[in-house]
Amino acid sequence: AQSVTQLGSHVSVSEGALVLLRCNYSSSVPPYLFWYVQYPNQGLQLLLKYTSAATLVKGINGFEAEFKKSETSFHLTKPSAHMSDAAEYFCAVDSGTPLVFGKGTRLSVIA
């Protein structure tokens, strides 16, 4: 069965600093991987997805993630954090419906 582990339930960065949110997956078949973002009092919004094309995936709002099969990782990065990036981020894996979500990482951005 597939699973996702997000390292760190809470990450705090300064405005302008690098954002790195970690995700490791477990899957017996080549996975599809996703990052979703949830702003307060809203549903989840798709940030980016990996579907076995390019290993470096670019998403919305300047985020990107790199699929590393050898490390079974799909970490999310953004070069420079903005106050508006403060939200909860979920990594998800799909090796066959439905998606399995990680526990989420809350990102705080300090001015």
Partner 1 sequence: DARVTQTPRHKVTEMGQEVTMRCQPILGHNTVFWYRQTMMQGLELLAYFRNRAPLDDSGMPKDRFSAEMPDATLATLKIQPSEPRDSAVYFCASGLETGLNYGYTFGSGTRLTVV
Q: How far is the CB of 105 from partner 1 (least distance, A)?
A: 11
Indicate the residue among 32 and 86 with the shorter CB distance to partner 1.
32
- Pick from 60, 68, 80, 70: which is nearest to 22 by CA? 68
Q: Is 34 in the site for partner 1 (CB under 8 A)?
A: yes
What Cα–Cα distance (Å) separates residue 54 from each residue in 8, 36, 91, 99? 26, 19, 18, 21
* Bridge partners, 13 (sequence order): 109
Does residue 49 touch partner 1 according to CB under 8 A? yes
Decide if residue 55 touches partner 1 (CB under 8 A): no
The smaller minimum CB distance to partner 1, of residues 42 and 55, is found at: 42
